[in-house]
Amino acid sequence: MHVDPSDLSAQESYRLLTGIVVPRPIAWVSTLSGTGGVNLAPFSTFTFVAPKPPMVGFSVGRKGSTYKDTARNILTRETYVVHIADRGLMEPLHESAEEVAPEVSEAEMLGLETLPSDCIEVPRLAAAPVAMECRLRQVLEFGDTRSRFLVGEVLRIHIRDGLVRDGKIDSAELDPICRLAGPNYATLGEIRTLRAMQQTKKHSGA
């Protein structure tokens, strides 16, 4: 089978891509709405883009002609928290994608406890094993749908005790969830360790 993307609608293309680019890590993002409620939503177009200062990015689409609450809140306040959810948080994470009015706090609706952040006014989720306080640094717009890729600098990283060994996160212990196509999720399968590559200091940030 061969596909010419110019024959596909945005929705058809989205369906294919979300099955091709798998598994995807998920940024579970808290923002503050105009009325001060804690907005929460998952975004699986997520990666890190630079290590120093640490920067992470994810892409937010639009609902019809308007941007989703997360993008609007981030562009207004320029601060947000990116969380990593573990297996136990799969259901609340999924539920937090429900479309609700901008003034409704998904964190409150789902009974998720929040904690004050250290560097920004946006609270973080107490239950998440990792929370990264972020300040918006760059917004890039892509495609006919004008999806916005939001890049933020990580100002503070909160990591649950016991997850870091020798400066590295223990992936099995973190037990993160990831997104497949549709309402499908996965957890980590077999982890195999291959030989470490020789890295010069010059290349270690690549």
Ligand X SMILES: Cc1cc2nc3c(=O)[nH]c(=O)nc-3n(C[C@H](O)[C@H](O)[C@H](O)COP(=O)(O)O)c2cc1C
Give yes or no for residue 60 binding ligand X (CB under 6 A): yes
**Minimum gap (Å) between residue 203 Cβ and ligand X:** 30
Q: E strands along the chain, which residues? A: 24-25, 27-32, 38-43, 46-51, 54-60, 62-63, 66-67, 79-84, 114-115, 124-125, 130-142, 147-159, 164-165, 168-169, 177-179, 185-187
**Minimum gap (Å) between residue 18 Cβ and ligand X:** 9
The answer to whether the bond into 92 is cis (omega within 30° of 0) is: no
Binding-residue pattern over the window 94 to 123 for ligand X, x denoting contact by CB under 6 A: x--x-x------------------------
The encoded tokens of residue 46 equal 């997520």
List the one residue from 25, 69, 92, 122 that touches ligand X (CB under 6 A): 69
In the region spanning residues 157 to 196, those forming contacts with ligand X, defined by CB under 6 A, are 179
In the region spanning residues 11 to 30, those forming contacts with ligand X, defined by CB under 6 A, are 26
Contacts 24+ apart (CB under 8 A), 60-66: 60/147, 60/148, 60/150, 61/145, 61/147, 62/145, 62/146, 62/147, 63/99
Give yes or no for residue 133 binding ligand X (CB under 6 A): no
Considering only the stretches 39-47, 82-90, 122-130, 150-158, report the one whose residues sit in contact with ligand X under the rule CB under 6 A: 39-47
When the beta carbons of 44 and 114 are compared against ligand X, the nearer one is 44
**Minimum gap (Å) between residue 172 Cβ and ligand X:** 21
List the one residue from 30, 59, 105, 114 that touches ligand X (CB under 6 A): 59
When the beta carbons of 75 and 174 are compared against ligand X, the nearer one is 75
**Minimum gap (Å) between residue 23 Cβ and ligand X:** 11
How far apart, in whole angstroms, are the C-alpha atoms of residue 146 and residue 3?
23
Q: Count of residues binding ligand X (CB under 6 A)? A: 18
**Contact residues for 198 (Cβ-Cβ < 8 A; gap 6+):** none
How far apart, in whole angstroms, are the C-alpha atoms of residue 87 and residue 178?
9
| Contact residues: ligand X, CB under 6 A | 26, 39, 41-45, 58-61, 68-70, 94, 97, 99, 179
